[in-house]
Structure 1
Amino acid sequence: GGAETLCRQTAGALADAGHSVRVHTTTARDYLTWSAHYPAGISTDGGVAVHRHAVSEADPGMASALVRRLALDAGDGDAEMAWARAQGPVAPGLVDAVRGMDAGALLVCWTYLYATTQLAMAAATGPAVLVPLAHNEAMLRFPITRGVMRRADGFAFMTPEEALLVDDLHGIGGRPFEIVGAGLAPARPSEGGTARAAFALPDRFALYLGRIDPAKGIDELLRAHAGYRARGGELGLVLSGRATVPMEFPDWVVTTGFVTEEQRASLIDAATCVLLPSRHESLSLVALEAWHQRTPTLANGHSEVLAGQTRRSGAGRIYLDEGEYARELAAIAGNPAEGQAMGMRGADFASDATWPACVARWERLLSTVAGEA
């Protein structure tokens, strides 16, 4: 997923800058069951040592039932811990490794939401930085989350909107934080022909890139695009990514499955616009990628992060309902000159998303936290 990709890229960038980086993670790949996929043990990824720990399989049904109870304030601390363990991933070896970290080492936990962070933050004996990757959802208000937030000695946020949300709900206080964001690799020459040779693409289309999952707003996107088509909209719809649950699609939808980096860049190049339908984001790497390649975006305005990124960049439009989706997409499709101008503004905005700049922000944060420990 996006969080895991960004974590890996950040670890690699810090290692390339000369820092000693060790990653503790699990053997899982599937975020619903956490079933073992990778072998346990130590491997290397570039200059990063990766320790994979065995994980207990989750209970998605119980986790779903408990989170509904807790969201209605119908649970207690025991129910919260049961939810955390049912959702997972629970990896005792990972928690033991955190507990036994060398003196002087800094712990950085990615995403507030999962048991790896909930248990590791509680086990940490030294300074700990939290990368919340927070968005406005019920779980962000749970008491167990308050405990994670209180334990953090510093915060790495992706966007100003995320920092404001966490501060409003939990209070950052005087603790150090940075809007670290993300870095992008230098743009490589790309042509839409590569994707067109691999997939049966419409002449003109809107593109969704990412996990094909109802949690990412795919169901709402399909309804909105059907409404756009009913109003005479000409753009096709292409969904590119791995489906996490079985889904059926109308015959006017093209699905590509998992794609290579070259195909991904080619799809962005060929698209009239890139769609960002999720209501829950802490940062959209897909938006930055699209703008990096001068492709405008259409984003769900119910996500304050997406709306904020779009307004700051001037590189896309936002929508709040199906009618606005149809109107805004038609406006992008019907005015190529405006789309080109938005794409140019996006490229200017994304030019600041470099790994050297991102590493410098991380170094500033980690030095401050270490100095205050």
Structure 2
Amino acid sequence: MSQKIAIVVQRYGVEINGGAELHARLLAEQLSAHYEVDVLTTTAFNYYRWANHYTVGTEIINGVRVKRFSTIMSSKRQLRRALRGIFGNKKYFKLLARLGLLEFLDRKYHIKTPSKRDIDYWFVKQGPYCPDLITYIKTNRDNYDAFIFFTYLYYPTAVGMRFVPEKSIFIPTAHDEQIMFTKPYEDIYSIPAFIMYNTVAEKNLVESNFKKVVNNSDIAGLGFSAAAVNLKNVDLSENMDLSAPFFVYIGRIDSNKGCDELISLFEKYAEEQKNVRLVMIGTNYMGVEENKNIILTGFVNDDTKNFLLKNSQGLIIPSKNESLSMVTLEAMAEGKTVIVNENCKVLKQHVLDSKTGFYYSNYEEFKVALNSTLALTDASKVKIAERAKAYVETNYSWDNIIEKFKIALQGIIDGKYNGN
């Protein structure tokens, strides 16, 4: 009888083509060759309010069984209230401060410290709040040999992992952001039996900032290789002008991903350079309008995405917060130059370790990076491609990654990690 694994993640679907959700899907599909795999997820597609989009129940996606549970949405007002609670900034604190009582009451009663009620409220309102999923985990814990939980931030992991700690592998996808260091998450790295980090930078971030971290861990990430493109499936808009050299951005078009800054920098650069474009591939959450310098594709299929990446000058990733950046590694696997935000330690480390690409922290560095990429000779492009592909092949092959998961999963099944 095959061993049965549950993968718990906040969203799941072929239409969700980035971040932890894509990571979860690719890992589930790889593990399904060795284990019986169930994905436990929600009916949400949009991560802003977690509205129910998919149908409750079970479906098969690329050979993997997916069980979906409904969400209960929160309002923006409730989320703001939850944020004030965990950051110790409740509305009535302003009145207490004006009366000169806030610091006195905090010293005496610790009123700024989030209470258990504040923390519980945060988890529910941050979401996706899916109590049926948690009930399923509690009532079916003995039907699975192990659980793999994705992403420290969200309700399914932050709450669900506590009911199966000795059976849990935790993939935190942690990055240096303010919310990570708040009270709701101070003990989350001590709960699971095993932590599988994406990068050395992520492991160092966690272990240098949290007192309670389990000893059992490894670094895996995802497997990548150059993708074949079926030209029959490439779907480009008739109005898409790719006659000029172009760079690509791939991912959510979202201010949280640094897209507002990227657009501002690129618009300035394009006015100086005149004959260069930025193709932004992904769902437009910012209401960005297309112009002669910026081409928006919306969500596209993999063949279209890979076609645009292969034919681009390189990939630009402006995000300051990444725990792995799959699209960066995809670009490297294609041998493409990557240009990344220096303020993201993970992205910068990819560039340094691979000895390819560029990083920037201001417009002048951004300009130099793009100019240098455009000026590369064919011979230089070949050398960069060789180094980038070698970096990915050495550090991110599926064979090595699945072997690491097999070792971790067997340790959980054998009870090796009990007593953390």
SS of alignment partner, residue 130 of structure 1: strand
Superposition deviation, residue 124 in structure 1: 2.4
1:35 maps to which residue? 51
Structure 1, gaps ≥5 residues long: none
Query: Is 1:5 matched with 2:22?
Result: yes
Superposition deviation, residue 250 in structure 1: 4.3
2:200 maps to which residue? 160
2:386 maps to which residue? 344
- Cα 1:69–1:245 change in 2 (3 A) is farther
AA paired with 1:99?
K
1:79 maps to which residue? 118
Superposition deviation, residue 230 in structure 1: 4.1
AA paired with 2:411?
T
- Cα 1:345–1:201 change in 2 (3 A) is same
User: Residues 3-44 of structure 1: CA distance to partner in whole angstroms, max 9, x if unpaired?
Assistant: 11110110111111x212121111111101111111111222
Query: Is 1:229 matched with 2:246?
Result: no
User: Residues 176-208 of structure 1: CA distance to partner in whole angstroms, max 9, x if unpaired?
Assistant: 1111110125532578x9577763224201110
- Report the TM-score, using the length of structure 1 for normalisation: 0.92
> 2: distance between equivalents of 1:333 and 1:132?
37
- Cα 1:125–1:71 change in 2 (3 A) is closer
> 2: distance between equivalents of 1:233 and 1:332?
16
AA paired with 1:43?
E
- Cα 1:347–1:271 change in 2 (3 A) is same
Superposition deviation, residue 64 in structure 1: 4.0
Q: Work out whether residues 176 and 368 of structure 1, in 8 Å CA contact, stay in contact via their aligned partners in 2.
A: no
Aligned length: 371
Aligned ranges 1:22-101 → 2 under 5 Å: 22-64=38-80, 66-67=82-83, 70-71=86-87, 74=112, 76-77=114-115, 78-100=117-139, 101=141
> 2: distance between equivalents of 1:364 and 1:60?
43
**Cα RMSD, aligned residues only:** 2.3
> 2: distance between equivalents of 1:326 and 1:55?
44
SS of alignment partner, residue 58 of structure 1: coil
Give me the identity figure in percent: 25
AA paired with 1:360?
E
> 2: distance between equivalents of 1:148 and 1:306?
25
Superposition deviation, residue 227 in structure 1: 2.7
Superposition deviation, residue 240 in structure 1: 0.9
- Cα 1:2–1:186 change in 2 (3 A) is same
> 2: distance between equivalents of 1:333 and 1:294?
15
Runs of 4+ residues deviating >6 angstroms:
none
Deviates more, 1:125-134 or 1:307-316: 125-134
> 2: distance between equivalents of 1:169 and 1:315?
30
Instruction: Give the structure with higher Rg (CA).
Output: 2
AA paired with 1:95?
I
Aligned ranges 1:142-157 → 2 under 5 Å: 142-157=182-197
1:258 maps to which residue? 299
- Cα 1:324–1:27 change in 2 (3 A) is same
> 2: distance between equivalents of 1:147 and 1:254?
44
SS of alignment partner, residue 125 of structure 2: helix
SS of alignment partner, residue 264 of structure 2: helix
1:372 maps to which residue? 417
Match of 2:147 among 107, 113, 117: 107
- Report the TM-score, using the length of structure 2 for normalisation: 0.82
Q: Work out whether residues 166 and 192 of structure 2, in 8 Å CA contact, stay in contact via their aligned partners in 1.
A: no
User: Residues 47-88 of structure 1: CA distance to partner in whole angstroms, max 9, x if unpaired?
Assistant: 432111111113334324543563466551333322221110
Structure 2, gaps ≥5 residues long: 1-17, 90-111
